[in-house]
Structure 1
Amino acid sequence: MRTLNTRHLLLATLLAAGTAQAGTVNIESWRVDDKALWEEVLIPAFQKKNPGIQVKFTPTAPTEYDSSLTARLTGATAGDLITCRPFDKSLDLFKKGQLEKLDGKAGMENFPASAKVAWQTDDGKATYCMPMASVIHGYFYNKKIFKDLNLPVPKTQAEFFAAMEKIKAAGKTPIALGTADQWESNQTVLTNVGANNWKGEEGRKALIAGKAKFTDPQFVAAWEQLSKMGPLMGKGASAQTYADSQNLFAMGKAGVYPAGSWDIAYFNKEGLDFGAFPPPVAKAGDQCYISDHTDIGMGVNPKAKNKADAYKFLAWLGSQEFADLYTNKVTGFFSLSNHLISVQDPVAKQMLDWRKTCKSTIRLNAQIMNRGTPAMENELWNVSSQVLNGKMAPKDAAAQIQTGFAKWYAPQQK
């Protein structure tokens, strides 16, 4: 009897040890709005195929995420999986040894090289986060206003401004846009509408290589578009916040809204009948370019307490199932994988279909160009807002950005 009890005790100990080893995979993230999605849809879908693995989604407020995550990683208390911001924030973590190298890991084979750039070293030799999703930029338009005024969806910049003037003449605000928060001036306006001028990746890479300058005509032309947009934003635009612009468009009082695809869900909730079109090209027949910005990835904490299970979850993030679920449940965030996805939301499908005819690029200054002083991101917010407000000439905006860039970036000093 004593031998039997000893065996039972040993078996119970082994089972307990196995359970403890499996533990819980904790996911760090700034996407607080997605908590219900992870808990009710994504994690249960993973567990259906991987019974016994517990997963917990523990987001931090976006404004606190970077600092609190750094503190937890430094103190070895961070979660097993780290949701990655694109480019320098995550690159810094990798350089500090706080993200694992993922080349060759299961699931990574399902992503094209272009999707991995946001989470690679500058030389492309190490990838440290699995790409999850991008956001696409363009314009949303009020279908009723366009129908009532018999306006075609504009394809060229000339057609766009002609349509805006007609909306203005009809007593409506042409463009739902303000400059109080400033960030939209760069992220949803300049790098959205300007990509057609500097030819997307061609222009962006030319700046990094030192073969082009912001004062070149193709970049000045982008700010010239902004200067034309300014008078079409409506009264009080300089005091208008992002939320104000959303509300103005949602209430049907504006013709178009310079958009990030993440806004689709908001306007769906408001019941607005709207469509989308890509940023108009300079002239008919030109190749079109869209800001298809790599936005979110996932990495593994080298000090993860449950690393084996974390890698199983990461492999699932690279699957067809996850790509379908995430694209259709987080409307406006598009999987970066090679899988064919059937997009259910009509506006999201419109935007994703632009990839078939337009060339994708990322936000102009996202890679490398934000590393010096003055900080280019903040500078672009400032000068682009001033151009929209009619307080700065396009050529002066270009000159200010170029001067700041050349102060610290060697290839621009030649």
Structure 2
Amino acid sequence: MTKRNPIGALLISTMLAGPAWAEDVTLTIESWRNDDLAIWQDQIIPAFEAAHPGIKLNFTPSAPAEYNAILNSKLEAGSAGDIITCRPFDASLALFEAGHLADISALDGMSNFSAVAKSGWSTDDASIQYCVPMASVIHGFIYNKDIFAELGLEEPTTEAEFFAALDAIKDDGSYIPMAMGTNDQWEAATMGYNNIGPNYWKGEDGRLALLAGDQKLTDEAWVAPFRQLAKWGDYLGDGYEAQTYPDSQNIFTLGRAAIYPTGSWEISGFNGLADFEMGAFYPPVQAAGDTCYISDHTDIGIGMNAATDNPEAAKTLLNWVGSPEFATIFANALPGFFPLSSAPVTLDDPLAQEFISWRGECESTIRSTYQVLSRGTPNLENETWNASVAVIKGDESPEDAGQRLQKGLASWYEPQQ
């Protein structure tokens, strides 16, 4: 059977779509995703230009660490491109408030996105949207199917099953149960606390209640994830305290650990490194039958320079980014970075398809610390890193961690005072 070429099919089906332009317009796209250059040149740009004669795209990325500074300099000088790739939350909100990003709330394509998907690029009151959501990453656990088969284990769906599997791997002694270290700190919060936490605080219900001041970090829903993390140290292997993020990646892809708490951003890299079949499971719920929640975290968006000379062409591109056509191309070109539109997308990569299938089973939310709550000092995101590490290592109790985080947040965030 001949395999269908999705890119070719998209080109054919969209060849006659869209308006013809009186003369060619070139839109320049600013981005930090310099590793995506070939994908834009080989797949995204040809598909868009075939569907929209008269509009040319010029993708001009900067190095990720330099993007914010370079973009701000260009915007101030009036030399920035027509299209701005948007980091989530405060960095892009600042650009909108400075008048650099246009209000695109009325764009037709925005109807394809949920409130959760749009949250990374909305004003605090969610009344104005200034970037089209492009992609998210989904948290969960990747595991080594060969090890699970060898030890007769199945994917855990409840916490009891999760810890039973960890115990079985530890008792066997051939493999490290879970590959994660605490040296770099962020993993303990990102791949630990904000991975399992939504099942306790009930996703968006709890996150929005924390923003409103109706819940506190000392409430059981926010302390309970620390209680689970306090058990993790027994399963992370000898020397996990000094283990870096790259160390953990190597330990798992070399087949020395059974489970890797993580996010979908690892898929592409792991596919090229692991010589075993990988599976994935979402964060186990507390009891059978409970609703599951996943961190489907907004990662990248795209907006319009308010000073562009080509606003109609820019809106055409932004509407297309919200379409199923773009979602299909982008999601298959970058397995593990998932389109945020509501249109169903089938992925060629089986591990990526497993992650994205959870949207149909679980409720989606985003990382609890990323919207508003890390603007002040102490920064709640960074404090959550530290607290998660301290709890895993046994240096701080879950209750003390919650009290410390609450005290820090209340010191500057009015709704929590």
Q: How high is the TM-score relative to the length of structure 2? A: 0.91
Residue 196 of structure 1: how far off its partner (Å): 0.7
Q: Deviations over 1:48-104 (max 9, x none)?
A: 112342212122222222222222212212111111111111111111101000022
Aligned to 1:273: 277
User: What amino acid does structure 1 have at the position aligned with 2:232?
Assistant: M
Aligned match of 2:156: 154
Q: Deviations over 1:150-169 (max 9, x none)?
A: 11211111211111121112
Equivalent residue number for residue 15 of structure 1? none
Deviation at 1:113, TM superposition (A): 3.0
Which of 321, 324, 327 is the matching residue for 1:323?
327
Match of 1:114? Answer: 116
- Alpha carbons of 1:64 and 1:20: their partners in 2 closer, same or farther (altered >3 Å)? farther
Tell me what 2:367 maps to: 363
| Greater mean alpha carbon deviation, residues 247-256 or residues 47-56 | 47-56
Indicate yes or no: 2:236 matched with 1:241.
Answer: no
In structure 1, the residue matched to 2:265 is 262
Q: How does 1:8-19 map to 2 (within 5 A)?
A: none
Structure with greater Cα Rg? 1
Q: Does residue 186 in structure 1 map to residue 189 in structure 2? A: yes
Per-residue deviation at 1:305? 4.0
Mark the CA change 1:20 to 1:29 in structure 2 (over 3 Å): closer, same or farther. Answer: farther
Partner residue in 2 for 1:209? 212
Whole-angstrom CA distance in 2 between matches of 1:311 and 1:53: 11
Find the aligned partners of 1:111 and 1:221 in 2 and give their Cα distance: 31
In 2, distance between residues paired with 1:318 and 1:326? 11
Matches for 1:269-308 after TM superposition, within 5 Å: 269-270=272-273, 271-308=275-312
The Cα shift of 1:195 comes to: 1.0
The answer on whether the counterparts of 1:28 and 1:81 sit within 8 Å (CA) in structure 2 is yes
Contact 1:22 1:309 in 2 (8 A): no
Q: Which one-letter code corresponds to 1:177 in the other structure? A: M
After alignment, is 124-133 or 311-320 more displaced?
311-320
Unaligned runs of 5+ in 2: 1-20
Q: Is 1:382 paired with 2:386?
A: yes
Letter in 1 for 2:152: N
C-alpha displacement of 1:22: 4.0
Distance 1:399 1:161 in 2: 27
Gap change, CA 1:49 and 1:20, over 3 Å in 2: closer
Structure 2 match to 1:9: none
TM-score, normalised on structure 1?
0.92
Counterpart selection for 1:396 from 373, 388, 400 = 400
2:58 counterpart letter in structure 1: K
Aligned-residue offset at 1:280: 0.6
Aligned residue for 1:154, secondary structure, equals: coil
SS at match of 1:360: strand
Letter aligned with residue 222 of structure 1: P
Equivalent-residue separation in structure 1 for 2:241 and 2:179 (angstroms) = 12
In structure 2, C-alpha distance between the alignment counterparts of 1:52 and 1:22, rounded to whole Å: 4
What is the identity, as a one-letter code, of the residue corresponding to 2:84?
Answer: I
Specify the alignment match of 2:14 in structure 1. Answer: none
Residues 1:310 and 2:303 are matched in the alignment: no
CA distances 1:122-171 after superposition (whole Å, capped 9, x unpaired): 12221100111111100001101111111121111121111112111222
Identical pairs, percent: 51
How many correspondences in the alignment?
395
CA contact (8 A) 2:101 2:303 kept: yes
Aligned mate of 2:145, from 138, 143, 146: 143
What amino acid does structure 2 have at the position aligned with 1:73? L
Which of 30, 38, 42 lines up with 2:44 in the alignment? Answer: 42
Change in 2 beyond 3 A, CA 1:217/1:79: same
Shift of residue 387, structure 1, vs aligned partner? 1.6
Choose the corresponding residue for 1:28, options 24, 27, 30: 30
C-alpha distance in structure 1 between counterparts of 2:219 and 2:112, whole Å = 38
| Worse-matched range after superposition: 252-261 or 233-242 | 233-242
- CA–CA distance in 1 between the matches of 2:233 and 2:290? 25
Amino acid aligned to 2:289: G
